[in-house]
Amino acid sequence: MLIGVNFGNIYCRTTALGNLKTSKPDFMTWKEYTIFLLESIGIYNSDLMLHYYRKIKKFAYWYKKRDNIDIGDIPQEADTRLENQKKVISWRRIARSIEKNDFYMKRLCFAQTKTDDEELRRLIHKWDNLLTKDTVSDDKDLINFIKKEVIKNDCENE
């Protein structure tokens, strides 16, 4: 058996290769874990942290208007099925969006916008190595945007 295939066979159901199940440290709530993730991003890139913060704030505001759920009343977890269908708010759902590097926050029902594209373009220029065409992400729109931006930058620099 090939070494790479065996590695895949052993680790396919772990976070090393697949992201089948998200977990957090047992001593943290999902809200604390979300804040930890944001602060961790902020250590290296405050602009990206603020981007995620604004999206989360807008997400919480929408639920406040729609369902009268204050940010302090957001549940730690909700029915997994409903979270996956994007029908309920929870700190677990928010944390998973950050874990997945969901720049556009599509997992929280946001769409890719021109404003987000401009912000991403600014971040790419400011932080040259923040995102590259080899960025690990499952968001096709993000990957395509980055590829176009990196190719455009390469052409401008020649």
The answer, yes or no, to whether residue 10 has pLDDT greater than 50, is yes
Task: Say if residues 123 and 153 touch (Cβ distance below 8 Å).
Answer: no
> Among residues 83, 79, 61, which one has the least CA distance to residue 70?
61
In tens, the pLDDT along 42-55 reads 888 888 899 999 99
Whether residue 16 is contained in a domain is answered as: no
- For residue 14, being part of any structural domain is answered with no
Indicate whether 52 belongs to any domain. Answer: yes
**pLDDT tens, residue by residue, 52-95:** 999 999 888 988 888 888 888 889 998 888 888 888 889 999 99
In a domain, 93, yes or no: yes
Summarize pLDDT for 26-35 with one digit per residue, the tens: 899 999 999 9
Is residue 7 included in any domain, yes or no?
A: no
User: Count of domains in the chain?
Assistant: 1
pTM: 0.70
- Does 22 fall in a domain? no
Does residue 5 form part of some domain?
no
Three-class DSSP labels, 53-121: HHHHHHHHHHHHHHHCCCHHHCCCCCCHHHHHCCCCCCHHHHHHHHHCCCCCCHHHCCCCCHHHHHHHH
The pLDDT, as a whole number, for residue 23 is 77
Give domain status of residue 21, yes or no.
no
Residue 141 CA to chain centroid, in angstroms?
Answer: 13
Whole-angstrom Cα distance, residue 139 to residue 145?
Answer: 10
| Enclosing domain of residue 42 | 27-157
